[in-house]
Amino acid sequence: MEKTLILIKPNAIQRGIMGDIVTRFERKALRIAGMKMMFLTDEILAEHYAHLVERPFYPYLKASMQAGPVIALCLEGAEAVETVRQMVGVTNSRKALPGTIRGDFSMSGEQNVVHASDSVENALVEINRFFKEGELFEYESAVTRFEYGGEETLKYIK
């Protein structure tokens, strides 16, 4: 099944809302394939935000991402990348729609609570960046048949 990478940013951990964020993904019936807490090094951050390192705000972004540990989550589901991006909302939390994670939990464009992969291609790269072999788990779910219809099961799961 399709996988995507989420980072729960240090600001969310400091604010005590990581549980609320994980709960949203659980309630959506996305499966947690991997979950770990880690500090981001200069190297991993420069790689992860390679498209932004030359931008004037990068030093602020870097400091905010290294202000504490992050939680890396690998989520799995049918069309998980697009679905999770919609759940997260647009980059600037003030513009993110109510009901999205950023729209409900943040007022900031920078301290916007979570990262989510923006394409299937990038998700694969990002999952490999944050998870080593043996840190992702396949396990039987007792409720998959209540989460997806028959056609969807054939298309996305089997």
Query: Residues interacting with ligand IDP, by CB under 6 A?
Result: 52, 57, 61, 91, 109-110, 112, 115, 118
- Least distance between ligand IDP and beta carbon 88 (Å): 7
Degrees to nearest 5, angle at CA 108 with 103 and 111: 105
Instruction: Give CA–CA dist 50/53, Å, rounded.
Output: 5
Q: Is 51 known to be catalytic? A: no
In the complex, what is the shortest distance from the CB of residue 113 to ligand IDP, in angstroms, rounded to a whole number? Answer: 9
To the nearest 10°, the Cα dihedral for 47, 38, 135, 131?
Answer: 0
Please say which residue, 31 or 48, places its beta carbon nearer to ligand IDP: 48
The distance of closest approach from Cβ of residue 141 to ligand IDP in the complex, given in angstroms and rounded to an integer, is 29
Report angle CA 42, 125, 132 to the nearest 5 degrees: 75
Cβ closer to ligand IDP: 62 or 157? 62
Q: What's the gap between Cα 155 and its chain centre?
A: 24
Say if residues 90 and 96 touch (Cβ distance below 8 Å): yes
Of 71, 84, 115, 117, the active-site residue reads 115
> Whose Cβ is closer to ligand IDP: residue 92's or residue 153's?
92
Q: Are 13 and 73 in contact (CB under 8 A)?
A: no
Between 93 and 148, CB nearer to ligand IDP: 93
Q: Which residue is nearest to ligand IDP (CB)?
A: 91
- Other C-beta atoms closer than 10 Å to the C-beta of 154 total 10
Annotated catalytic residues are 115
